[in-house]
A and B are shown apart, each in its own frame.
Chain A
Amino acid sequence: MRVWDALVRLLHWTLAAAVIAAWVSGHWQPSDFDAVHHTAGYVALAAVALRLIWGFVGGRHARFSQFVRGPREVLAYARALRGGHEKRYVGHNPLGGWMALLLWASAAALSITGWLYTTEWLWGYAWLEELHAALGWAVAALVGGHLGGVVVTSWRHRENLVGAMFSGRKRAPEAGDVD
């Protein structure tokens, strides 16, 4: 069944490509890659902004109301995961939903601090440069966690989640699955 709508997939891969391009160009010191780095940052911020709007008006599994779960459910899911008997979620699982929110929040903060550094107001300050770099590592760590979650969940439920982010299709819910 179709779970991830076209815009969800497009914005997912746009953000992924922008983050990779920004990472590469940002670590190519000192100033050779500014244009690529800045463009990647604006693209990432635009992708996150659109995704946030889409979280309210998009397809069913794109909506925050569908996948942002309360702390009790998140905790219960984490416990079940440790025990190896967690339920399969058709959309985001409770941890995956929060991972997505954290990724968008940190990517937005990263883009905004980067843009602020280019303004005359805050250009050149060491603290902002360091904050931007720290946020870059935070995003990198979250991306690592995201990839780990994708691998573990794919393996646990015998489902290719990377492929699902291309095709949009996932296995229809079976008995015991959560929508």
Chain B
Amino acid sequence: MKRLLATLALAVTASAAFAHGNVSCPAMPKEEKKGQMELQKKLEGEGWKIRQVKNYNGCYEVYGFDDKGAKAEAFFNPKTFERVYPEDEKAPEKK
């Protein structure tokens, strides 16, 4: 039983060491940011369904369904509204 616990503890620590990189957006003064509501309206205009928008590491983080109806957790630059991809998630090819 003790060995099992030790193995589990090791597995948790080991997987922590393999964590991927995070997502972040450049710091900018508040005035340069556009509103979250504006991002939501823009995305909804493109066919997204939005359930939550919040701040994350300087980005706007959007939860909902994208224009193809797929579950999405997406990050956007608050100034340009450009989508930002975490390192472990590849950006799709441009259409």
Q: Which residues of A contact B (CB under 8 A)?
A: 9, 13, 17, 20-21, 24-25, 28-33, 36, 120, 123-126, 129, 166
Indicate with 1 or 0, residue by residue over B51-83, a CB within 8 angstroms of chain A CB atoms. 110101000010111000001010000000000
Range for the number of chain B residues in contact with chain A: 20 to 34
| Shortest distance between the CB of B54 and any CB in chain A (Å) | 7
User: Contact between B8 and A32 (Cβ–Cβ < 8 Å)?
Assistant: no
| Supplied contacts A31-B88, A125-B51, 5 more A-B pairs, CB within 8 Å | A20-B8, A21-B11, A21-B12, A123-B71, A124-B64
> Closest B-chain residue to A34, C-beta based?
B73
Given A17-B8, A21-B12, the answer on whether A29 and B52 have CB atoms closer than 8 Å is no
User: Contact between B1 and A13 (Cβ–Cβ < 8 Å)?
Assistant: yes
Count the A-B residue pairs with Cβ separation under 8 angstroms: how many?
63
**Cross-chain contact of A13 among B5, B16, B23, B61 (Cβ < 8 A):** B5
Q: Chain B's interface: helix, strand, loop or mixed, by majority?
A: mixed
Given A30-B73, A123-B71, A124-B64, the answer on whether A24 and B19 have CB atoms closer than 8 Å is no
CA distance in complex: A28, B23 (Å): 12
A-side contacts of B51, CB under 8 Å? 123-126
A-side contacts of B86, CB under 8 Å? 30-32
B-side contacts of A20, CB under 8 Å? 8-9, 12
B-side contacts of A29, CB under 8 Å? 22, 56
Q: Which 6 A-B pairs have the closest CB atoms?
A: A124-B63, A124-B51, A17-B8, A126-B52, A32-B20, A32-B19
| Shortest distance between the CB of B49 and any CB in chain A (Å) | 9
A-side contacts of B64, CB under 8 Å? 123-124
CA distance in complex: A30, B78 (Å): 18
User: Contact between A17 and B15 (Cβ–Cβ < 8 Å)?
Assistant: no
> Closest A-chain residue to B72, C-beta based?
A124
